[in-house]
Amino acid sequence: MPGQFEAIPGGGAAVALDEVEISIIRSLAVQLLELIGPGPAEDAPDDPLAELFAEGPSEPPTDPVLQRLLPDAYGGPGSEEGATDADELRAYSSEFRRFTENDLRAKKREDALVVIRSLDALTSKGEGGAVLKLSADESRHWLGALNDLRLAIGARLEVTDEEDTDLLYQLPDSDARKPMVMAYLWLGGLQETLVATLIG
């Protein structure tokens, strides 16, 4: 079980994590929350319906990580079918983003919070390392958060395809990106074994 998720009864998953691994995942999840930002109505607590009806931004984010986490719905290779020009694609993307980005950000916040809370519950028992046991629902949130963390790190490492990933294995230990690469690859292994438990 060390370093990989395994299925447990009830449709959940378990993984053994040491103190350093817990600290790394928690820190990354907190950074992800900070990057995604607060909900659109968190400044208006007197109006409980504000978030429900709040429209999101219509322009894509400028941060490359947020661009990867919150991509345009239209555009990119092979997406020109049915669209007359780039302006039309931008208009479609803008409209789609306006009505979906807030929900997407909320989902990503929820996933990251489940990760943080489950790790906090694990460490509150005073154990240095422990076996993290997740319900089926928690496992799905973890899967979403692991995917987001890998996308975020991959964006910082400028990973765009499998060839870029292969090049990461060849980086010398002296390269300043090496710790980020190790986290990227490790999270990928966790994600892969968690997927296997959920579909197995």
Strand-pair partners of 6: 14
* Averaged pLDDT, 60-82: 75
pLDDT top residue among 101 and 118 = 118
Question: Does the structure show a pLDDT above 60 at 76?
Answer: no
Q: Which string of b and e fits 92-114 if b means at least 16 CB within 10 Å?
A: bbbeebeeebbeebeebbebbeb
Strand-pair partners of 132: 15
Q: What is the mean pLDDT of the chain?
A: 84
Q: What percent of the chain has pLDDT over 90?
A: 50
| Confidence band, pLDDT 50/70/90 cuts, at residue 46 | low
Question: Does the structure show a pLDDT above 60 at 139?
Answer: yes
Edge-to-edge order in the sheet of strand 12-17: 6-8, 12-17, 130-134
Check: CB of residue 105 under 8 Å from CB of residue 144. Answer: no
Report the pLDDT value the prediction gives residue 1, as an integer from 0 to 100.
42
**How far apart, in Å, are the Cα atoms of 59 and each of 71, 88, 91, 97?**
11, 14, 10, 8
Q: What percent of the chain has pLDDT over 70?
A: 84
Dihedral-angle region of residue 77 (phi above 0 means left; psi in -120 to 50 means alpha; beta otherwise) = beta
What DSSP line would sit under 95-124, residue for residue?
HHHHHHHHHHHHHHHHHHHHHHHHHHHHHT
pLDDT top residue among 16 and 61 = 16
Locus of tokens 């900070």: 34
Check: CB of residue 145 under 8 Å from CB of residue 115. Answer: yes
* Averaged pLDDT, 96-108: 88
What residue ranges do the domains of the chain occupy?
6-199
Report the pLDDT value the prediction gives residue 161, as an integer from 0 to 100.
82
| Confidence band, pLDDT 50/70/90 cuts, at residue 132 | very high
* Averaged pLDDT, 18-22: 92
* Averaged pLDDT, 81-100: 76
Report the pLDDT value the prediction gives residue 28, as an integer from 0 to 100.
97
**pTM > 0.85: yes or no:** no
pLDDT top residue among 168 and 115 = 115
Report the pLDDT value the prediction gives residue 50, as an integer from 0 to 100.
61
* Of 31, 32, 58, 53, residue with least CA distance to 41: 53
